[in-house]
Structure 1
Amino acid sequence: MASWDDLVAYVRVRYEIMRSTDTELWFNLPTTEERTQLVVVRSVTGADEGPWAQITSPVGKLGDLDLVTLLTKAGESVIGGVVAVDEVVLFKHSIPLHADELPMFDKPFQLVVKVADELEELLTGRDDH
């Protein structure tokens, strides 16, 4: 089983980390054209008591979004889902940390960024996050 430190070491050589704490990594990643997307990876403990990585990326303010369109479009993704935290809608996905599967972090990480950015652009027309 991989540890949070294993994931941090894996990520550091692949992505530019904007900010880090003992349990979080913050990124501001380029997406399409001139757009960027904020994404946070957190260390969490799963129901199985094992280490997990939770990947979240903001879409917009809850009160500003068409929820029918948000839920419909988010439901088209093969991973993740939407949640609201402190009036901010986040696209979120969690993965277990397995030592031999750290390279499998990249695909869901990139998909969360892509989907959140597409939802933000579709629903707000802006690039705030």
Structure 2
Amino acid sequence: MASWTDLVSYVRVRYEVMRSTDTELWFNLPTTEERTQLVVVRSVTGEDDHPWAQIASPVGKLGDLDLTALLEKAGESVVGGVAAQEGVIVFRHSIPLHEGELTAFDRPFRLVVQVADQLEELLTGRDEN
């Protein structure tokens, strides 16, 4: 059974952590060309009272985006979805920590970063997040 502590140890070996707290890990990862993408991994407890890791990456400010285009493009991804958090649209995905191997973290983590960066570039034309 994986825990948040196990995930933190796993991630620290594989990625450069920009900032961390007891419940969050922040990254600024290179994507394509000169672009980078901010991503936050949070320890959360689901409605099922089990531990989850939530991977979220900003796309843009809520009032600045074409929500129809955002939803259509985000719907093409095999993982994740969009949400609004404190006026910012994020692309996010969660994985249960109590199930399986920690290696199951890498693919969704990378896909969230990739999709969020693509959405940001397509919908804002910028590289701010």
TM-score (norm 2): 0.97
> Matched residues in 1 for 2:104 and 2:93: separation?
13
User: For the Cα contact (< 8 Å) 1:2–1:51, is it kept in 2?
Assistant: no
What is the rounded CA distance, in whole Å, between the counterparts of 2:98 and 2:32 in structure 1?
31
Q: Which position in structure 1 is the counterpart of 2:17?
A: 17
Unpaired stretches in structure 1, ≥5 consecutive residues: none
The C-alpha deviation readout for 1:76-125, integer Å capped at 9, x for no partner, is 00111001111110001000014641001000000000000000000000
Shift of 1:49: 1.7
> Can you list the C-alpha shifts for 1:1-52, whole angstroms capped at 9, x where unaligned?
2110000000000000000000000000000000000000000112222211
Alignment of 1:96-115 (within 5 A): 96-98=96-98, 100-115=100-115
Could you tell me how far apart the structure 1 residues matched to 2:11 and 2:88 are? 26
For the Cα contact (< 8 Å) 2:50–2:98, is it kept in 1?
no
Paired residue for 1:118?
A: 118
Give the secondary-structure state (helix, strand or coil) at the position aligned to 2:41: strand
Structure 2 distance, partners of 1:16, 1:25, is 10
Give the 3-state SS of the residue equivalent to 1:11 in structure 2.
helix
Say whether the 8 Å CA contact 1:80–1:91 is kept in structure 2: yes
Alignment partners' CA distance in 2, 1:46 and 1:87: 22
**CA-atom RMSD, angstroms?**
0.9
Equivalent position SS for 1:110:
helix
Correspondence for 1:42: 42
The TM-score, its normalising length taken from structure 1, stands at: 0.97
- In structure 1, what is the equivalent of residue 32 of structure 2? 32
SS in 1 for 2:101: helix
**Over 3 Å off, 4+ runs:** none
The residue type paired with residue 109 of structure 1 is F
Structure 2 distance, partners of 1:7, 1:107, is: 14
Aligned length: 129
> Cα 1:27–1:123, aligned 2, differ >3 Å: closer, same or farther?
same
Q: Whole-Å Cα distance in 1 between the matches of residues 98 and 105 of structure 2?
A: 10
1:21-100 to 2 correspondences below 5 Å:
21-98=21-98, 100=100
Contact 1:73 1:119 survives alignment (8 Å): yes
